[in-house]
Amino acid sequence: MGTITRKFANNFLSGGTFAAAAINNSSLTNITDVPTTVKGKLTLISTQTASASASISFTSGIDSTYDEYIFKFINCHPQTDDVAFGFQANASGQTGFNETITSTSFYAHHTEADTSTGLSYFANYDQAQGTGYHWTSVHVGGQADEQCSGTVHLFNPSSTTYVKHFICSSPTYDADNGSYNYYTAGYFNTTSALTEIDFKFSSGNIDDGIIKMYGVSKT
């Protein structure tokens, strides 16, 4: 591989014209434009912190600006032991967080005592045209050091043509003292735009935790 050298003009970061010297002995000159937005980058839209909160709702910022939204929930600790954590949505103009969902779920697990391991489909936590919350984490422990974290991807929520797909993954400290990793996916079976999303535990408050909402720049 030949020597690679680079030389940039002082106005590079301001978006002006700059020159590059040689790459493998071939010169590059008069590069006149640098994209102002990196395609596919994450833009932080909102951060919410729980403190004995019944739920955390994002009721603004979900619109046609982005084709994909990512929600990261971090160290969500339940008030109650052995509970599930999940989400539901509202279509535009709707209330109640009860949109129709079809979903699927499986998990891998390994307990601290090495007494139980496995990879299983989780039939009790999928939905077939249900209107309940989609649970991304199950049997979350309520002891002081127990919690769940994870990521939810919501695709094209502002479409008025297609249903709204989502995928989720969540490593969880289980109430049985083990590592459980839940993988779930599904769709909101509506062609109306989704504008709000709510996160909560199946029982009790979110004692502590952070949820961040990002938009993914269009490619």
Q: Residues spanned by CATH 2.60.120 within the chain?
A: 42-216
Q: Residue 29, CB half-sphere, CA atoms under 13 Å: how many?
A: 3
For 104, phi then psi, to 5°, come to -140, 160
In order, the DSSP letters of 49-80 are EEEEES-EEE-SS-STT-SEEEEEEEEEEESS
187: closest CA among 159, 212, 215? 159
CATH topology of domain 42-216: Jelly Rolls (2.60.120)
Whole-structure pTM over 0.75, yes or no? yes
Beta strand spans in 96-163 (E) = 101-111, 117-121, 128-130, 134-140, 148-155
- Please give the chain's pLDDT, 219 residues, in tens: 444 444 444 444 445 544 444 555 555 555 555 555 566 799 999 999 999 999 999 999 999 999 999 999 999 999 999 999 999 999 999 999 999 999 999 999 999 999 999 999 999 999 999 999 999 999 999 999 999 999 999 999 999 999 999 999 999 999 999 999 999 999 999 999 999 999 999 999 999 999 999 999 886
